[in-house]
Amino acid sequence: MTTKPSSTHKLLTAALVLPLSGCDGLQSVLQPAGKEAAEIATLFHVLLVGAVVLWILVNGIFFYVTRLNPRPLSRRAAETLIIGGGILFPTIVLGILLAWSMSLMSSQRELGNAPVSVSVTGEQWWWRVQYRREDGSLLASANELRLPAGERTEVTLTSNKVIHSFWVPALAGKMDMFPGRVTRLALQPETTGTYRGQCAEFCGTSHALMAFQVVVMEPNDFERWLDDQAAPAKEPEEALALEGRQVFLREGCGACNTVRGTPAAGTTGPDLTHVGGRTTLGAGILPTTPDAFTRWIQHTESIKPDVYMPSYEHLEQSVLEALGHYLKGLS
């Protein structure tokens, strides 16, 4: 069921991208890992070839008549050019392109009987994620999306406050997220791996710092992971981590963030129950190492300008380290 990208467009992609950079293409339209993105990449490659040919043709004619062979031609030839090049040719080509794109349009956004359903809410500047489980319960997470390969997923999008846009180039086109309105997107990842998504609608000061990771897993792994996520937070074992939990609760972190299994039950900020197991911190901008947690909590406002969470610069380094240790342990 996995539709591999065609070899021609792989080749084209390679020809375009490889000589240019050694990039890993985490966020690239040209390296699709999902059905929707692959279809669009094929469309793009056809368009690209057509555009290059037409560009050369039009400018070639111009160059020919002004430089290479600047002698008067008949009026008839000129009128043929206007009618042929200006009307007939574009009508046919555009008709074909429109038919193709319209057929893609309806299939791309079709939900089918999507077995997986996730809702994502745009916040300033992070992503609130909720998985709808088979029993109808909702499982809260943030800033990371895990999806099973080869299955159709319905993503329900909305926003708190301002407009954002949900975009994972390797999987599909983007969809805007509005306050007071629900939009939908269908995804069908095909290749396992980690991909990057980023907010694509300007949403304020730190718009640039609103990213997330999508981890595409084998369906069985995904189910197992989902069960793990449903469990409450792990009990810290080390002394440092235990101290970190005390600090977390003492400093009032729980007023904004939830850590299931502890008194922390705030919902203004991201759910942190399994934050240590995520691939990134701060909505795709830092790794989830204990150091990164410490740095983030200490300098939140300078790392992410205008963010709602205050910096905890007044805390001592050792206290912050304990906190970082505790959070990293929440895997």
Partner 1 sequence: MSLRDDANGCYPPTEAMLDEPVDEQWQDNSKRRLRDVWKTPAGWRYWSAVNNSEVGKWYCLTAFFFMMCAGVLALAIRVQLAVPENDFLSAGRFNQFFTMHGSAMMFLFAVPLFEAISILILPGMLGARDMPFPRLSAFGFWCFVIGGVFVLGSVLFDAAPDSGWFMYPPLAIESEGIGSDIWLLGLSFIEIASIAAAVELIVGVLKCRPPGMRINLMPLYAWYVLVVGGMILFAFPPLIAGDLLFELQRSFDWPFFDPDRGGDPMLWQHLFWIFGHPEVYIIFLPSIAIAAMVVPTVARRPIVGYSWIVLSAVGTGFLSFGLWVHHMFTTGLPALSLGFFSAASEAVVIPTGIQLFAFVATLMVGRVTLNVPMLFIAGALAIFTAGGLTGVMLALAPFNWQVHDTYFIVAHLHYTLFGGMIFPVLAGIYYFYPVFTKKVLSPRLGKWSFWLLFTGFNITFLPMHLTGLLGMPRRVYTYQTGLGWDWLNLISTVGSFILAAGFLLFAWDLLRPKSREPDTARNPWNAGTLEWTHDVPEEAWGIRSIPYIRSRYPLWDQEKLVERIDAGRFYLADAAEGKRETLVTSVLDAKPIQCMRVTGPAWITLIAALFTGGAFIFPTFHIYTPAVICAVFAGACILYWLWTSTAPIPEQDRKPVGLGLSLPIYASGPESAGWWGVWITMLGDATAFISLVFGFFFYWTTKTDFPPVGSEHANLLFMLLGGAVLLGAWALTLYARDSNTKGHVARARKALVLGIIASFTGMALVIWSVRSTGMDPQAHVYPAIIHALLLWLTAHVAVGVIMQGYCLAGSLFGKLTPRYDADLQNICLFWHFLGFTIVVCVLVMGIFPRWL
Residues 272-291 that bind partner 1 (CB under 8 A): 285
C-alpha to C-alpha distance for 292 and 206, rounded to whole angstroms: 19
Pairing verdict, β 211-217 and 193-198: antiparallel
Residue 26 is a binding residue for partner 1 (CB under 8 A): yes
Tell me the window of 19-27, 112-120, 225-233, 237-245 that interacts with partner 1 (CB under 8 A): 19-27
155: Cβ contacts below 8 Å, ≥ 6 apart: 118, 119, 120, 166, 175, 184, 185, 186, 187
Residue 122 is a binding residue for partner 1 (CB under 8 A): no
The closest of 158, 164, 160, 174 to 204, measured between CA atoms, is: 164
For 139, the 3-state DSSP assignment is strand
Distance of closest approach, residue 104 Cβ to partner 1, in angstroms: 5
180: Cβ contacts below 8 Å, ≥ 6 apart: 158
- Range 184-213, binding partner 1 (CB under 8 A): 184, 196, 198-209, 211
C-alpha to C-alpha distance for 29 and 12, rounded to whole angstroms: 13
Q: Which is nearer to partner 1, 30 or 330 (CB)?
A: 30
C-alpha to C-alpha distance for 197 and 199, rounded to whole angstroms: 7
Q: Which is nearer to partner 1, 26 or 315 (CB)?
A: 26
Buried b (16+ CB within 10 A) or exposed e, 176-197: bbbeeeeeebbbbbbbbebbbb
Tell me the window of 29-37, 145-153, 236-244, 268-276 that interacts with partner 1 (CB under 8 A): 29-37
Pairing verdict, β 286-287 and 280-281: antiparallel
With contact defined as beta carbons under 8 Å apart, do 238 and 245 qualify? no
Q: Which is nearer to partner 1, 98 or 138 (CB)?
A: 98
Rounded to a whole number of angstroms, the distance between the first and last alpha carbons of the chain is 33
Q: Which is nearer to partner 1, 196 or 278 (CB)?
A: 196
Q: Which residue has the tokens 């939140």?
A: 300
Distance of closest approach, residue 278 Cβ to partner 1, in angstroms: 17
Residue 96 is a binding residue for partner 1 (CB under 8 A): no
Distance of closest approach, residue 174 Cβ to partner 1, in angstroms: 5
- Range 43-62, binding partner 1 (CB under 8 A): 43-44, 47, 50-51, 54-55, 58-59, 61-62
Binding mask 286-315 for partner 1 (x = CB under 8 A): -------------------xx---------
- Range 136-165, binding partner 1 (CB under 8 A): 161-163, 165
β-sheet bridge partners, residue 213: 144, 196
Distance of closest approach, residue 95 Cβ to partner 1, in angstroms: 9
Q: Which is nearer to partner 1, 85 or 277 (CB)?
A: 85
Single out the residue of 10, 104, 114, 140 in contact with partner 1 (rule: CB under 8 A). Answer: 104
- Range 216-235, binding partner 1 (CB under 8 A): none
Distance of closest approach, residue 46 Cβ to partner 1, in angstroms: 10
Distance of closest approach, residue 139 Cβ to partner 1, in angstroms: 25
Residue 114 is a binding residue for partner 1 (CB under 8 A): no
Residue 96 has, within 13 A of its CA and on its CB side, a CA count of: 9
